[in-house]
């Protein structure tokens, strides 16, 4: 049985190794500076990979978690979204955009002094389901999903 | 050095709404320039918020957070006069901290 800490350590080590080998140029410096940045999670392409990189169990859909966002976003470059849950003991709140090149957008780690309702703005390359995932201290991983339609993609160029 | 953040911390009863607008390019690493070369990723990786010097929220961000990122959260138990400090670090190792007073 692997604990979350083991997995996190291992992925950090692996990222460090890859970075020191120069496989991820530019990352070595960032790793040295940022320390705890979980690069593996931000490279992941699916929800399962993200959960693996973060050491969480398989997510379950739940009414207690919500994703707040528009039904239709006119501009995919700035889509206001928020993740919220009413449950206590939240370790992490995640925002994920399924059809982006890398799925994970943001990981929030709120302390007791912060309400578990955190908003930001994300880029969306195309219309896609957007996930809010809450990782709880008791090991449960719950999610909510909402389809957001984008009329103008945010990753053009 | 990046431009300063705009931080507003507004107390409303026992909860304080904090809104932060950071000034950052948030380049994804997916886009190409006019010559067809990939523009390297340049984005904020870590954000932390502190209330009176005590960290209350940390975040890790990928490149899909929008340009000039916006962050909103609610603090429990903050009073007018308390200091809210926000710090970010990007993948080039640049960092910036700004502070605001709860009103």
pLDDT at A61: 83
B41 contacts on A by Cβ (under 8 Å): 26
Nearest 5 degrees, angle CA A26-CA A121-CA B97?
A: 60
In terms of residues, how long is chain B?
103
pLDDT at A19: 47
Torsion A46-A49-A53-A56 (CA) sign: positive
* C-alpha dihedral, B76 to B80 to B83 to B85, nearest 10°: 60
| Beta-carbon pairs below 8 A across chains A and B | 131
pLDDT at A10: 63
Q: Contact A154/A127 with Cβ under 8 angstroms?
A: no
Beta-sheet strands, E only, within A86-140: 90-97, 104-110, 117-122, 128-136
Contact of A114 with chain B, judged by CB distance below 8 Å, is answered with yes
What tokens appear for B98 in the block? 């700004």
A9 Rama class: left (phi>0) / alpha (psi -120 to 50) / beta: alpha
What domains appear along chain B, each with residue ranges and CATH number? 6-28+37-101 (2.60.40.10)
Nearest 5 degrees, angle CA B36-CA B39-CA B43?
A: 160
The string of pLDDT tens digits covering residues A122-154 is 888 888 888 888 888 888 888 888 888 888 655
Contact of A78 with chain B, judged by CB distance below 8 Å, is answered with yes
* Cα–Cα distance, B28 to A48 (Å, whole number): 22
Beta-sheet strands, E only, within B1-103: 6-12, 15-21, 44-51, 54-61, 70-76, 83-90, 95-101
Select from A35, A111, A116, A155 the residue whose CB has the most chain B CBs within 10 Å, as the one to mutate to test that interface: A111
The string of pLDDT tens digits covering residues A52-91 is 888 878 888 888 888 898 888 888 888 899 998 888 888 8
Which DSSP helix (H) or strand (E) runs through A14? helix A4-20
pLDDT cut 70: percent of chain B above it? 99
* Cα–Cα distance, B85 to B101 (Å, whole number): 9
Per the prediction, chain A carries an average pLDDT of 76
Residue A108 has pLDDT above 70, yes or no: yes
**Backbone phi, then psi, for B36, in 5-degree steps?**
85, 5
Contact of B17 with chain A, judged by CB distance below 8 Å, is answered with no
**Backbone phi, then psi, for A108, in 5-degree steps?**
-115, 135
Select from B60, B69, B77, B78 the residue whose CB has the most chain A CBs within 10 Å, as the one to mutate to test that interface: B60
Residue B96 three-state SS:
strand
């Amino acid at each position: 049985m692997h604990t979350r800490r083991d997995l996190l350590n291992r992925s950090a080590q692996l990222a460090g190794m890859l970075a020191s080998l120069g496989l991820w140029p530019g990352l070595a410096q960032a790793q040295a500076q940022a320390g705890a940045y979980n690069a593996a999670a931000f490279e992941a392409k699916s929800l399962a990979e993200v959960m693996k990189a973060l050491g969480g169990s398989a997510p379950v859909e739940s009414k207690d978690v919500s994703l707040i966002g528009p039904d239709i976003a006119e501009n995919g470059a700035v889509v206001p979204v928020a993740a919220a849950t009413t449950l206590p003991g939240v370790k992490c709140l995640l925002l994920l955009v399924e059809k982006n090149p890398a799925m994970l957008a943001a990981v929030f780690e709120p302390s007791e002094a912060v309400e578990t309702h955190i908003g930001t703005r994300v880029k969306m390359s195309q219309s896609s389901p957007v996930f809010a995932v809450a990782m709880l201290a008791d090991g449960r991983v719950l999610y909510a999903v909402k389809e957001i339609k984008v009329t103008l993609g945010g990753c053009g160029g | 050095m990046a431009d300063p953040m705009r931080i507003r911390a507004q107390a409303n009863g026992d909860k304080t709404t904090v809104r932060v607008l950071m000034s950052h390019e948030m380049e994804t690493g997916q886009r190409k320039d006019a010559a067809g070369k990939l523009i390297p990723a340049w984005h904020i990786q870590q954000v932390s918020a502190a209330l009176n010097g005590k960290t209350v929220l940390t975040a890790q961000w990928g490149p899909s957070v929008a340009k000039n990122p916006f962050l909103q959260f609610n603090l429990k138990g903050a009073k007018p006069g308390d200091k809210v400090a926000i710090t970010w670090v990007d993948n080039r190792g640049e960092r910036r901290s700004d502070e605001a007073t709860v009103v």
